[in-house]
Amino acid sequence: MPFEGDPLALYGKNIIEDYHASLTTKLPQPDADKTNSFDISDEKLRFFPDRKVGILGAGVGGLYTALILDSLGVEYEILEASDRIGGRLSTYKFPGGKMYDYYDAGAMRYPLPKKDAQGRYKNGIMKRLAELIIYPPLNQGLDRLKDRLMPYYYKAREGPNLKPGFYYFNGVYEPVSETPKGPFRGQEMGVDADYIKAGVDAISDDVTKPFVRMLIEDFKHDEKKGWKVMMENDSYSVRAYMAFKYLPSANLELPPQHLPNDVINWCGLLSSSSGGYNRALTESVFSPLAFAKVGGTDFGDVDWKCFDGGSEVLPKMMAKVINETKKDRIHFGKRVTAIRLSDLIIILPPEFPKHKIPSAAEELENYSDAGDLVAGASETIGDPGRRERVIILRGAGVRVSVNSESRVYSHVISTLPLPVLRTIDMGGAEMNTMQKNALRQLQYGPSVKIAILFKEPWWTTKLGIVGGQSFTDLPIRTIVYPSYGADPNAESRVLIASYCWTSDADRLGSLANPQQSDRLKELVLRNLAEAHARVRPNGNLITYDFLQDQFLDMHVKDWSHDPHAMGAFAFFGPGDFQNLYTSLTYPAANKRLHFAGEALSTRHGWVVGALDSAWRAVYEYLSVTDQKDKMKRFTDMWGKNVEWTSPSVQPQYDESGKPLPSNLLYEHFGLIDKAIGAGEIKY
């Protein structure tokens, strides 16, 4: 599965290379007569490398990790704190509802790359997800995952008697169309006529599109010109860049000065969320690369899809495959309370060659199984009828405390959201100072979805809207109409009446509790009535009384107050992609605790970010344990990622001067090892 056609992978590679260049300047230069090579493993890491691996979290990242390890014959188990799989892939089905009376409280839409003439997925940012969907074990029998894909209408369906979504800001209604948005009373917000004439869409595009264009040019010509410009502005939030750095292009015919605050507020009003301009400029530039058509390239040439039955279909089918080969690999209700470096006990057969035992190993004369549960340690290698040899390797395991028990693994791959990981006692996990600060500082954005089950899909029957979205400055902010269940014989009566994030989600989330349910219901219904009143002004008027009569049930999902998520998606601030992001792409606990999750990718807010980071965590595990036989099978089956498999910038040589094979991951670990040894990275 090649992923060369992924610009965000290239930018991830650039982040790592820039970090390496910065780190190299701080390290003592090697002597000319010494070999320049990175040995990222050791005898303890290489000894029985495939002992049981612990996976933390049964979200899509943890399940993907399990599928990979399963394909390589590595034993593992998954610890999940909640009572379900899927993590932030969560589908809520209204009790007593019909077939399509559900909504996706988490991830709900997937911009997959289009297929070529032979039916193969083209290169693109979401290709790893697309390849997972067609993974053969997930497509056995009559219920095949790939057959569950169905069209998702990011914009409302077009056709006779159908209406588009709309914008409703400052009391002004305007249908969504290909023409630029109007001013929406911008002059009453203090916006000068020149900016009104230029238009909010043109100004907003002028802020980010030059960066996007330059980055795409980098990708096409294998350069870093655009990347250098992007990094020169990485310390800005979107708002700060607009106010203190940005200068309008000449074709907009605007004053050659930074944008006035009133203009920034006007642009922010017509964006997706209040406070969205506080995120890193880099995040805003990366975002359109996931699904927006850019220039004359294929990037952004996507097919929007969703899953028939909701997004929970994906993790459920993954879990089914995981449990087919060996049951009870996923353990529910296992909330992790502490992670720390531990000793690893291994039982060897008496004939095991002594010279293969690591020199640091100690033999235990009187071993008892009492005490901690050592995952995999009770398995005797060889003839169980003969007297075994029991050895202990100090600092060669990772102890995970769960409820009232402990489990010790050879390696642990954590796919937990970083805010959740920070609530766990990591005092004995041997994390460096920068890693601890990354857990504290790297941000996740809040998000709230409010879904309502009505007696009928009035947005379609009364207004002619099928799929797509409407946008407003009312507290509900974004309204999402279902793309599924448009057939009168299998309709969906569920409307995502509110989808909001950043400060809008913080405010609405204050009402997301049972005590405020009636108040929230009234607010949402009144907002819906006001926003839809102008869709068909001459008939089928949607009123508050009408919606009250139509109301059957309501469900609210506030991800910030979900104890198993503590946020909806990674939402980095200025500069976070540099030292903080790179610090968690290096394992803790003597290279035995590996970190994954969509935050530790350049694809924030997308399922594919979780998949790519899980791939990298498994790649780390195989590399530090030197499992060359499994590594080839791993890359053959699960592909490569240019972020980590590209050749290292610094060439590696053996003692005879012969070049050694190396890549960015080896360079990453090797440089960090040297920085730790030199005291540049502190614990």
pLDDT attached to residue 464 = 93
pLDDT attached to residue 199 = 95
Count of H helices and E strands in the chain? 22, 29
Q: How far is CA 525 from CA 8, 496, 497, 519, in A?
A: 40, 12, 8, 10
Per-chain mean pLDDT for the chain = 89
Q: How far is CA 347 from CA 17, 240, 398, 614, in A?
A: 42, 60, 17, 30
Q: How far apart are the first and last CA of the chain?
A: 38
Question: Angle at CA 569, nearest 5°, toward 70 and 603?
Answer: 65
Cα-flanking dihedrals φ and ψ of residue 74, to 5°?
-95, 130
- Give the pairing type, strands 494-501 and 447-454: antiparallel
Q: Read off the pLDDT of residues 310-330 as tens digits, 9 standing for 90 and up.
A: 999 999 999 999 999 888 899
E strand segments, 255-307: 302-307
Query: What CA–CA distance (Å, rounded) separates 322 from 316?
Result: 10
Instruction: Work out the pLDDT band at 2, boundaries 50, 70, 90.
Output: very low
Query: What CA–CA distance (Å, rounded) separates 326 from 236?
Result: 50
CA 242, 244, 247, 252 torsion-angle sign: positive
Domain 157-179+447-558 CATH (choose: 3.90.1150.10, 3.30.2130.10, 3.40.630.30, 3.90.660.10): 3.90.660.10
Domain ranges across the chain: 157-179+447-558, 181-304
How is residue 84 annotated by DSSP? S
Q: Read off the pLDDT of residues 56-93 as tens digits, 9 standing for 90 and up.
A: 999 999 999 999 999 999 999 999 999 999 999 999 99
CB 317 within 8 A of CB 145: yes
Instruction: Work out the pLDDT band at 384, boundaries 50, 70, 90.
Output: very low
Token pair recorded at residue 55: 């996976």
CB 584 within 8 A of CB 432: no
Number of residues assigned to the chain: 683
CB 125 within 8 A of CB 290: yes
Query: What CA–CA distance (Å, rounded) separates 282 from 227?
Result: 10
CB 463 within 8 A of CB 454: no
Query: What CA–CA distance (Å, rounded) separates 17 from 228?
Result: 12
Residue percentage of the chain with pLDDT more than 70: 91
pLDDT attached to residue 539 = 65
pLDDT for residue 166 is more than 60: yes
- The mean pLDDT of 348-356, rounded to a whole number, is 83
Residue whose tokens read 């982040």: 15
Which residue type does 564 have?
A: H
Range name among 110-114, 182-186, 386-390, 609-613 with the lowest pLDDT average = 386-390
Q: Read off the pLDDT of residues 438-474 as tens digits, 9 standing for 90 and up.
A: 999 998 999 999 999 999 999 999 999 999 999 999 9
Query: What CA–CA distance (Å, rounded) separates 683 from 669?
Result: 16
Residue whose tokens read 């995999």: 376
- The mean pLDDT of 611-634, rounded to a whole number, is 94
Q: From 603, 624, 620, 625, select the one nearest 612 (Cα to Cα).
A: 603
Query: What CA–CA distance (Å, rounded) separates 488 from 110?
Result: 25
Q: Please give the distance of CA 98 from its chain centroid, rounded to a whole number.
A: 31
